Amino acid sequence: MPEIIVKDSAYDYAILKRDIFDIIDAVEGAYAVKPISAGRHVLIKPNLLASAHPDKAITTHPLLIKAVVEYVLEKGALPQVSDSHATFPKSFSQVVKDCGVTESLNGLPVTLKEFTVSKKVSALRGGGAFTPDTRYNTLELAEDALNADVIINLPKLKTHTQMDLTLAVKNLFGCVVGPRKPQWHFNLGENKELFAGLLATIHSVLRPEINIIDGILSMEGDGPGTGGIPRRLGVIMGSADAVALDMAVCHMLGIDEMSLATNKAARDKGHLVDFTIRGDMKYIGDYVFPTRANLLFVPRFAMNVLRQNLTTRPMNIEGACKLCNDCVKICPAQAIENDTKRLHFDYDKCIRCYCCMEVCPHRAIKVHQPLAVKAIKKIVKVFTPG
Ligand code: SF4
Ligand code: SF4
């Protein structure tokens, strides 16, 4: 059964390095042959999706990445740190500089580069299974990730307005290169279960050997971008199994593990869903999850008609918006227009993926709840016992 190693930790480098080394040693113990050894090519995949200071809790902390790189170097292996960011037209080198990664890795013999080249791969690689939905049977993923001897997955613990949380399995979506990411969002629309199926398939293909989540400074509220609120949890957790790690995070935050769509999708693909905990697990009963309205009792045919008034949606905060166009460029549905004075959202086109919130550098997009949603929530509260 997969083991979750839990550590109270901090962004004090001496403490963090000790804790990271302890976690990787423990996780490597789960394998008959330790994955990280001399000459092996180790791909380190943090969350470097957006150009953001570490205090914003949007990206994996640069000191955590540094500690992992130092571990890999000590073993004589060859580290590469890569991601595919979403803040165009910023360059990858600008993003990693803004995230503090360039400075933290300064002087270390590590390759720091963007994923740029994709390779087609069958969903059967890594022992995965085809799903009834054939659109996942062939994926295009970063060649560097597919060719690596070992993958170390370093997600940030954050809320996500579409997917509830973005954890270890979701972090691997960064191995989809550049514009293919919005294409997937657009093709799968606002169906969270379909998107979770894609994420579970990507995970089954890549199967990172080591997963460590950065929950020292996490994000709650309307994440995963500047709309969320940083919250210090002071925890890092590691495992050889990304799905088990995500389940343990749900457990820590007091939600049903199968309420996270990626966990359910992984289980439906036959992934073992169980874990044991080593260390003192915190229990957080007041974590703030994103504002959203999943009106599951509305029939699907009616949903199409009622979605304008019965689903949450992104909304521009005009005073805060700098009209920088980052959200316009990332929107997979081309639902945002900039008329040079203000932004206009086309909610018929919008698929509620919240990529725009994720990339906005100025906290200028919020989640809006239509009045009908607020009214229904009040009614449900009144008629819900306890
Ligand atoms: S909402 Fe944010 S990302 Fe979009 S144009 Fe305004 S400032 Fe830029
Ligand atoms: S407007 Fe925002 S939430 Fe809607 S599709 Fe575009 S990026 Fe996604």
Mean pLDDT of 335-341: 96
Q: Is the CB of 365 under 6 A from ligand 1?
A: yes
Q: Is the pLDDT of residue 131 over 70?
A: no
Atom 8 of ligand 1: nearest residue by CA position: 324
Ligand whose nearest atom lies closest to the CA of 325: 1
Ligand whose nearest atom lies closest to the CA of 355: 2
Q: Is the CB of 330 under 6 A from ligand 1?
A: no
Q: Is the CB of 50 under 6 A from ligand 1?
A: no
CATH number for the domain running over 300-382: 3.30.70.20
- Cα of 97 to ligand 1 centre, how many Å? 21
Substitution candidate for ligand 2 out of 353, 359, 360 with most atoms within 8 A of CB:
353
- Cα of 308 to ligand 2 centre, how many Å? 14
Nearest ligand 1 atom to alpha carbon 336: 4
Mean pLDDT of 262-267: 96
pLDDT digit string (tens) for 11-32?
999 999 999 999 999 999 999 9
Nearest ligand 2 atom to alpha carbon 347: 4
pLDDT digit string (tens) for 297-309?
445 555 555 566 6
Ligand whose nearest atom lies closest to the CA of 360: 1
Q: Is the CB of 359 under 6 A from ligand 2?
A: no
Please, what is the average pLDDT of the chain?
90
Q: Is the CB of 158 under 6 A from ligand 2?
A: no
Which residues of the chain are in CATH 3.30.70.20 domains? 300-382
- Cα of 363 to ligand 2 centre, how many Å? 15
Q: What percent of the chain has pLDDT over 90?
A: 72
The full 3-state SS of the chain, as one line of letters, equals: CCEEEEEECCCCHHHHHHHHHHHHHHHHCCCCCCCCCCCCEEEEEECCCCCCCHHHCCCCCHHHHHHHHHHHHHCCCEEEECCCCCCCCCCHHHHHHHCCHHHHCCCCCCEECCCCCEEEEECCHHHCCCCCCHHHCEEEEEHHHHHCCEEEEECEEEEECCCEEECHHHHHHHHCCCCHHHHHHHHHCCCHHHHHHHHHHHHHHHCCCEEEEEEEEEEEECCCCCCEEEEEEEEEEEECCHHHHHHHHHHHCCCCHHHCHHHHHHHHCCCCCCCEEECCCCCCCCCCCCCCCCCCCCCHHHHHHHHHHHCCEEEECCCCCCCCCHHHHHCCCCCEEECCCCEEECCCCCCCCCHHHHHCCCCCEEEECCHHHHHHHHHHHHCCCC
Substitution candidate for ligand 2 out of 349, 356, 365, 367 with most atoms within 8 A of CB:
356
Which residues of the chain are in CATH 3.40.50.11440 domains? 3-278
Ligand whose nearest atom lies closest to the CA of 368: 2
The reported pTM is 0.87
Q: 3-278, what's its fold? A: Rossmann fold (3.40.50)
pLDDT digit string (tens) for 53-77?
999 999 999 999 999 999 999 999 9
- Cα of 93 to ligand 2 centre, how many Å? 26
